[in-house]
Structure 1
Amino acid sequence: MRIKKGLTGLMVGALMLGLLAGCVGKNETNGGDNGGGAAGGKVKLTMWGAVPPENGPQEVVDTWNAEHPDIQVEYVRFVNDDDGNLKLDTALSTGQNVDLYVNYTLTNLDKRIKGGTALDLGEFTDYNIDEKMGEDAASWKVDGKYYGMPTKKNAAFFALNMKALDQAGLSVPKAWTWDEAREYALKLKTAGFKYGLVQHTASYVDPLDSVLVKNGYVKADGSSNLDDPLVTKWLETLNGMMKEDATTPPLGEQLTSKMPVENMFLGGESAMINIGEWLIRTSNNMTEFPRDWKIAFAPVPRLAAQEADMVKSGGLGDFIAINSKSKNKEAAWEFLKWYADGGMMPMAAGGRLPSSNVVDQQTAIDHLLGDYADSYDKESLEFVLYGDETPTFVRSIAQEVVDLRAQEYEKFFLGNQTAEVTVQNMVKRHNDWLKQNQ
């Protein structure tokens, strides 16, 4: 009996040692929940973003990983559309490996804050976001707090065919109105272009928001301000360019053809395009879009007559949050600081300019233009990126309001209702929404 009892004890002991060894092995190999540590005590972080890896993110993480052997980062791409954001939200809510992730709209950020998956960065005191990123960073605050860090300088501008401007005797504007832009488009179209101006449909509404950010989406009495006179001015100006001047594509044609407006500008079919810094990723592709003319840049026109009344789309973007459920918040914070203060520089070639003031602006522009700097008017580019002091906004209204406006102004541009009825419908639907969301 003693021998049997002793053997049983040995067997139990061996079994316990095996279980303990298995647990240690698992922790060292898989790092526990949410990435954890890799073999040898390394920390593994996973960052989710919408930019294709080959357009900068892979070079960024490769550089970090070479310099920080104890903290290794993996980049996971999601597409910045409804399906892609749902994929990210599902990963966040189900505890999949997400340590850092990029938010591209305030609407998505707000949803993730309410879902408890965005860390309040106020717990870190060694980096002042307001000082590093400037006053535009405050657009991303929620209830006075930063649940992430804006890292990219947004830039909305008109890109112009400089050769066409010279031939038409037109200068590169530094401040102008939509009435003046309409005149430019007409003169440039008559100079031999199919269109004077093209733009993505997403850019249509920027002038509308420029007005409403300045004058308020809601009046003092709590009712909708979508009947601001400049709203009608915007509708009638763009509609006149579509139908009277034929200097910009009709909305119906643009929607049905899924018009590649960047290709049209770079291919010489349009003399101007309303766009942003991402254009340069395509315009540097001289294989597909060879050109013998320079691209110049101008601020987006204003609707108001007075320059002081202008607020433009822009601000800061690529708002990177740390998952509040991450097991490696401190490591993620170290990576985020490094990324924002210059580690993200390889992203500049794809149009993502760092917003941190410790990054040299000229270096960023050099990365942006690459080998084709001579094909751009650098003076006007530097002005729209860094010299134009017009206040900027990041659209922060609810998606429901964005949608209801679009549904109404699309009816107008498609010829199904008048400008007056369009404004009335937007106001009514906005007022109904305001009552439901008091």
Structure 2
Amino acid sequence: MKNRKWLTLSVMLVVVLSLLAGCAGNKGGNSAPVNEGSKPQESSNTGGGDAKPVKLKMWGGVPPESGPQAVVDAWNKENPNIQVEYVRFVNDDDGNLKLDTALLTGQDVDLYVNYSLTQVEKRIASNVALDLSGFSDYNIDEKMGADAAAWKVNDKYYGIPTKKNVFFVALNKDALDKAGLAVPKEWTWNEMREYAKTLKADFNYGLVQHTEPLIDPVDSGLVKAGYTKEDGSSNLENPVVKQWLETMNGMMREDKTTPLLGEQLTSKMPVENVFLGGEAAMLNIGEWLIRSSNNTTDFPRDFKIAFAPVPRLSDSGADFVTRGGLGDFISINAKSKNQEAAWEFLKWYADGGMAPMAAGGRLPASKDVDQETALTSLLGDKADTYDVDSLRYVLYEDKTPTFVRSVPQEVMDLRAQEYEKYFLGNQTADETLARMAQRHNDYLKQQK
């Protein structure tokens, strides 16, 4: 009898100790660490009481005053238990190196913005981008549409593309009206070359371009034709590359309607200032122009801006694809200790929380965001300084298929090095094509 009573007391003691151990293990509301490859664990530190708020750091390339600070302020006001701090890095080689170093050395990075697929792939390989398939409460394909799939790697999402990427040609509408030229809805580079010749009469340049989208016409052709041939060798000697080289060189040297590339690079020409300052009639750029063109204090102008799609090289538009799709691909750091909290913020951001970013030229991609509301936010009180119908067309109505540039950085660099030699007059177009292809083939061999 005594033995049975002692056994009962022992069992009760074990149960009590187990319960106490469970309570101690959950003290502070922290869940177990996330195991690699498992579903992200939910932090229970979202209730009241004395629990300290979860603190997240989000890294992005947009200046805080251009929308990000307003975004996190709005979130922080409504979510005292999950507080977000925005950290700005410059979206260039040095800035991305700074972010990569922070990710790899375990500095505080919970969420970060990728601006190219190449960056995403590198960060996945470094195990600092979380596979989002562990979350089942948000359908990225449904929310963002078919263009989102361009950001998949091995058929998985390691982030959410949050904004519409739009590239266009901005035009001085007053100058177009004076010359009797319509705002194009589709056109070729030859047609834009003629526009540049006509418009240059009243400007220093008919056309200026950012160097970043300069080579987009080549990618528009090679996305369809392939960057490599069937035998696996380089396709950088494709006729589309030569056509682009000769078209641009003709505008630089024969027509003198666009700056010599060497002069533009040497002077670090601020092409947005040149266009907004009335020195150029057209500007090949993307939606980030709106951030500057809305700022009439620093960039005063007395003309209305119209918008046209980026032209195609060929006369046939049947197979034309233009750069665009979706961008601002936001990933959660796979090493973050607050993945569930980061996920809650990311969903909110993608579905409309990013609205203040529109004032800086970043239009939300989610179908849950009203397009006209976003457009109103984009233009603010400057709507009367734009041809809004043409802007609406390039943003929402142009149905030309789009691509997201995914060329490896090494290939981007070798192409640029060779076409710069051509535009500087140091080698012919044929020599440039041969050098591009040779160096691309060397790169391809190294990857095997």
TM-score in terms of structure 1 length: 0.91
SS in 2 for 1:108: helix
Shift of 1:31: 12
**Structure-1 residue corresponding to 2:218:** 208
**Which residue identity does 1:152 align to in structure 2?**
K
Shift of 1:32: 12
Moved beyond 2 Å, runs of 4+: 30-34, 36-41, 288-292
User: Partners of 1:318 and 1:72 in 2: how far apart?
Assistant: 21
**Structure-2 residue corresponding to 1:5:** none
**Which residue identity does 1:134 align to in structure 2?**
G
Shift of 1:257: 1.0
Within the alignment, does 1:289 sit opposite 2:310 as a pair? no
Within the alignment, does 1:275 sit opposite 2:285 as a pair? yes
**Which residue identity does 1:112 align to in structure 2?**
R
Instruction: Give per-residue Cα distances to partners, 1:86-118, cap 9 Å, x unaligned.
Output: 221122112221111111111111111011111
Q: 2:266 aligns with which of 238, 256, 262?
A: 256
**Which residue identity does 1:303 align to in structure 2?**
L
Gap runs ≥5 in structure 2: 1-23, 35-42
User: Partners of 1:316 and 1:350 in 2: how far apart?
Assistant: 16
Q: 2:194 aligns with which of 152, 177, 183?
A: 183
User: Partners of 2:297 and 2:108 in 1: how far apart?
Assistant: 39
Instruction: Give per-residue Cα distances to partners, 1:13-67, cap 9 Å, x unaligned.
Output: xxxxxxxxxxx9xx97x99999x96963321111111111111111101111111
TM-score in terms of structure 2 length: 0.89
User: Partners of 2:306 and 2:401 in 1: how far apart?
Assistant: 22
SS in 2 for 1:307: coil
User: Partners of 1:87 and 1:256 in 2: how far apart?
Assistant: 26
TM-align CA RMSD: 2.0
The within-5 A match list for 1:38-57 is: 40-57=51-68
More helix per residue? 1
**Which residue identity does 1:423 align to in structure 2?**
L
Q: Please tell me whether the aligned partners of residues 296 and 377 of structure 1 are also in contact (alpha carbons under 8 angstroms).
A: yes
Within the alignment, does 1:353 sit opposite 2:363 as a pair? yes
Q: 1:330 aligns with which of 323, 340, 351?
A: 340
User: Partners of 1:60 and 1:31 in 2: how far apart?
Assistant: 28
Instruction: Give per-residue Cα distances to partners, 1:296-332, cap 9 Å, x unaligned.
Output: 0000000122111211111111100011111111111
User: Partners of 1:286 and 1:44 in 2: how far apart?
Assistant: 37
The within-5 A match list for 1:49-128 is: 49-128=60-139
Q: Please tell me whether the aligned partners of residues 296 and 381 of structure 1 are also in contact (alpha carbons under 8 angstroms).
A: yes
Within the alignment, does 1:343 sit opposite 2:343 as a pair? no
Q: Please tell me whether the aligned partners of residues 101 and 322 of structure 1 are also in contact (alpha carbons under 8 angstroms).
A: yes
User: Partners of 1:415 and 1:31 in 2: how far apart?
Assistant: 63
Shift of 1:288: 2.6
User: Partners of 1:98 and 1:230 in 2: how far apart?
Assistant: 42
User: Partners of 2:247 and 2:370 in 1: how far apart?
Assistant: 39
**Which residue identity does 2:291 align to in structure 1?**
R
Shift of 1:292: 2.4
Q: Please tell me whether the aligned partners of residues 315 and 394 of structure 1 are also in contact (alpha carbons under 8 angstroms).
A: yes
More displaced stretch, 404-413 vs 106-115: 106-115
**Structure-1 residue corresponding to 2:316:** 306
Instruction: Give per-residue Cα distances to partners, 1:185-230, cap 9 Å, x unaligned.
Output: 000002x111000011112111111111121111111111111111
Identity percentage of aligned residues: 71
